[in-house]
Amino acid sequence: MTKRFQTKIGGRDLEMLTALDRTPLTTTQLCRLSQTFRAPFTDEHNLRRRLRRLGESGLIRSWPYAFATDGRSPQYFKLTREGYRLLYGIDSPLPRRRYFEEISHGHHHHTHALAEVAVHLLVHAHRQGTILRHFARENSVRLESDGFTMYPDCAFQLLAANGRTFNFVVELDNGTERVRTRQDVESIERKLRGYDAHQSQYAADDPRRYFVLFVTTRSDQRLQHILDLADMVMRNRQRTVFVGCDLKTFLQSNPLTDAVLTDHRLLKRTLIPRIHPPEKSVSFVAPIQIF
């Protein structure tokens, strides 16, 4: 008998494994996210016990982050190959090897912040009856246009209560990339031009259209520089392609209803428009394999 069958797996366990498939999570993040489960965890002690059992069964693994919170380094959890196969079937193709491996220390801040964004969105969407679906984890989406190639940090779709859908890709900016460069290397400018070119192939009412959500983790000025540059490089300034917010503000608000996002015209926005136009909703299709 393999380890996978030594622990009885319940519905809440599958919800936990599904959450870890989206992004690595700490105990605190997973406990907060459990508000969206059918049976939430009321305290972290019970959650930790269940995580230990899942670890002993070979379904998950954990490593410490390289930074400390409250005086100690939090552990982050990831699926093992056994955990992934339990979710998707024994014959399902496995993700790349790094999906299962320890995260490099230089990527810890990025991974933790991205998980904070995902958990925050899922919890607020659940509370107000908005469905967050088609979540694509980091490095699982590839977009190409006009010689540009983009790998968003994640992508998702929001299904509002009135049936309308809103598509997003996320770029979490830690201030490590150059905003502009004359060289043909990775930069914020190159991402902006690439996303704008990719969006330009779709009409305004095309259900494949999406917003690019920039979340900056270092400074407000960084976000302003990105949006100013977006305003310069966009082919059609009348369209809204890019919106942004700093991480602290994002996590202290409900971005689905609070106007904390800023677009390239410096207009304040919510993730879901407060007033919806009366046109008929169009179901989302994804021939470009975003979601």
CA angle 159, 128, 48 (to 5 degrees): 100
Q: Has this prediction a pTM greater than 0.75?
A: yes
**pLDDT for position 289:** 42
Q: Which two tokens stand for residue 167?
A: 């598509």
**Rounded mean pLDDT of the chain?**
89
Instruction: Please give the average per-residue pLDDT across 234-256, as a whole number.
Output: 95
Domain segments of the chain: what residues? 3-103, 109-269
Residue 275 clears pLDDT 70, i.e. is over it: no
Q: What is the pLDDT of residues 189-219, one digit of tens each?
A: 999 999 999 999 888 888 889 999 999 998 8
CATH class, domain 3-103, is mainly alpha
Residues above pLDDT 90, as percent of the chain: 75
Return the closest-CA partner of residue 227 out of 249, 209, 245: 245
Three state DSSP letters for 58-125: CCEEEEECCCCECCECCEEEEECHHHHHHHHCCCCCCCCHHHCCCCCHHHHHHHHHHHHHHHHHHHHH
Pairwise CA distance, residues 195 & 192, whole Å: 5
Mean pLDDT of 53-77: 93
Section 247-260 average pLDDT: 96
Q: Is the pLDDT of residue 120 over 60?
A: yes
